[in-house]
Amino acid sequence: MARRRSLRLSTRVTLFFGAMALLGGIGLTLATFLFARNSLLDQRVSAAKVTAIQHATNMNDLLDTSPDARTVAQAVQDLDTEQGGFAALLTSAEFPARPVNVFSRIGYSVEDLPSQLVESVRSGQSGQQLFSDDDGKPWVGVGISLRAHDVGYIEAFPLETTERTLRVLASALIVGAVLATLIATFFGWSTSRRLLRPLSRVADAAGDIASGTLGARLDEETDPDLNRLAGSFNDMADAVQERIEREQRFASDVSHELRSPITALTAAVEVLDARRADLPERTQQALDVVVSQIRRFDDMVIDLLELSRLEAGAHDLHSESVDLVELADRVSQRFGYGDLSIEVHRRAKRRAQVDRVRFERILGNLLDNATHHGGGPVRISIEPSPVKKSVLLAVEDEGPGVAASERTRIFERFARGSAARNRIGTGLGLALVAEHAAALGGEAWVEDRPGGGARFVVRLPTESS
């Protein structure tokens, strides 16, 4: 089952800051808006009650002194009501001498007032109520019962200004919440980058060490915790470098010390081989085994010494512009494959910036590998590379191919594919190919050949412009 890919740590930190800021902004916006709305409405209702009580008192005094219906109606119409608002004097039908339901402004009727407030005033109670008219405009109505005259006074005050103020406040709060979220998200992003920067340096240094730069180290940090991390990493890198160098020195020393006895053994065996006709048949068979194994041992020691020098950087690089086709043909002839086809793609560059000796070792080892493990090479091709300023050199064979799980491992020392476990060879040829390719600034890999077999490919830098 494939592991689900999770978000990067920096992305999660940024999203966390943004989400917390968004939730906090929403909560603060709602709380602020509700508090401001209640406060503004309370102030508005209180002011409306004061005005309505004052006007109701004036109407009560008028009714005390001048009960004439026409005078009362004129007084209601002359009331100094708030702009856009209106007032009403609701009288009982039991007193026909007085006008019934007199409004301060034409066009308004009892239907424009909330029925609950009207009934409350007519029943002798006072109060206030928020309501909306048919157009959806908000109002606050204040009703006062004038019991001495059995009438009710109601005054309606428009709340459009208050609602407009609340809308402006809500817009400002929303904009503020959005800005706060954006600022918090940016802060989270910058903080995550700042916090993860030391980890990025650790990853870069580890990558450098893995690629062969054993001297890569971390600088000291001002933060004590991060400085401890840097120190521990550097101590680990020192230990790894010391161990690798010790193993490299050991391999180099052993290979070097073996050269003298192997040379002596080779000379002695060659003397015996030159007089093999004087030996019995069974002794000749034993001599053949000894000769082949000593030669294989000698090749292995030479390859180990070469690998040790490559890893130590002892080999100088003498790059020059060469014709790959001519050089590949010369190497093929030297290895006994003078008739081997060399195909050049029409878009591939024939010239490359390489070291002749290293190129010969690369191609020679690939031809050797195809001979021993792939049934013999069938084609050499020079192809364009997807990487700029480089070209691909490929050697193809018709062997069993290389399993996908082994395509990286076979370029390691003494590694053999499952199809070549019992074949001859030192197990160092492809390791040398990879090391020489890396020294030239390229790389080596293996892939399937169309129709069966394997394609060993090396990317080489082309001639610099």
CB 19 within 8 A of CB 106: no
Those residues with Cβ within 8 angstroms of residue 427's Cβ, 6 or more apart along the chain or in another chain: 413, 414, 415, 416
Q: Parallel, antiparallel, or unpaired for β 151-158 and 127-132?
A: unpaired
List, for residues 135-178, the tens digit of each pLDDT value: 888 999 999 988 878 888 899 999 988 889 999 999 998 998 88
> Dihedrals φ, ψ of 217, to 5°?
-140, 165
Angle in degrees, 0-180, between the axes of helices 324-334 and 356-373, rounded to the nearest 10: 50
**Which pLDDT score is estimated for 35?**
92
- Residue 277 carries which side chain, given as an amino acid letter? A
Cα 50 from Cα 356, distance rounded (Å): 104
Kindly provide the b/e burial profile for residues 139-178, where b requires at least 16 CB atoms within 10 angstroms of the residue's own CB: bbbbbbbbeebebbbbbbbbbeebeeebeebbeebeeebe
Find tokens 């709305």 and name the residue: 37
List, for residues 277-312, the tens digit of each pLDDT value: 777 888 878 877 777 777 776 666 666 666 666 665
Those residues with Cβ within 8 angstroms of residue 409's Cβ, 6 or more apart along the chain or in another chain: 415
Cα 107 from Cα 100, distance rounded (Å): 16
Q: What is the DSSP string of 355-419?
A: EHHHHHHHHHHHHHHHHHHSSSEEEEEEEE-SSTTEEEEEEEE-SS---GGGTTGGGSTT---GG
Q: Parallel, antiparallel, or unpaired for β 342-344 and 377-384?
A: parallel
Calculate the CA 93 to chain-centre distance.
80
**Which pLDDT score is estimated for 232?**
86
Calculate the CA 91 to chain-centre distance.
76
Residue 110: both structure tokens together: 């009892």
Residue 245: both structure tokens together: 């160098």
C-alpha closest to that of 443 among 456, 455, 452 = 456
Residue 90: both structure tokens together: 């609701």
Cα 59 from Cα 77, distance rounded (Å): 11
Angle, CA 295 vertex, CA 294 and CA 299 arms, to 5°: 115
**Which pLDDT score is estimated for 365?**
85
User: Is the alpha carbon torsion for 166, 170, 176, 179 positive or negative?
Assistant: negative
**Which pLDDT score is estimated for 395?**
92
> Dihedrals φ, ψ of 422, to 5°?
-105, 15
**Which pLDDT score is estimated for 111?**
84
C-alpha closest to that of 440 among 368, 324, 362 = 362
**Which pLDDT score is estimated for 434?**
85
Domains of the chain: 9-164 (3.30.450.20), 224-312 (1.10.287.130), 319-461 (3.30.565.10)
CB 383 within 8 A of CB 345: yes
**Average pLDDT per run of 10 along the chain, which is 465 residues long?**
64 83 87 90 91 89 76 80 86 52 81 87 87 87 86 90 90 89 85 77 81 78 79 85 73 64 76 77 79 70 65 65 89 86 86 85 87 84 88 89 84 67 64 83 89 89 67
CB 412 within 8 A of CB 432: no
**Which pLDDT score is estimated for 50?**
92
Residue 346: both structure tokens together: 């029409």
- Residue 74 carries which side chain, given as an amino acid letter? Q
Angle, CA 463 vertex, CA 460 and CA 465 arms, to 5°: 135
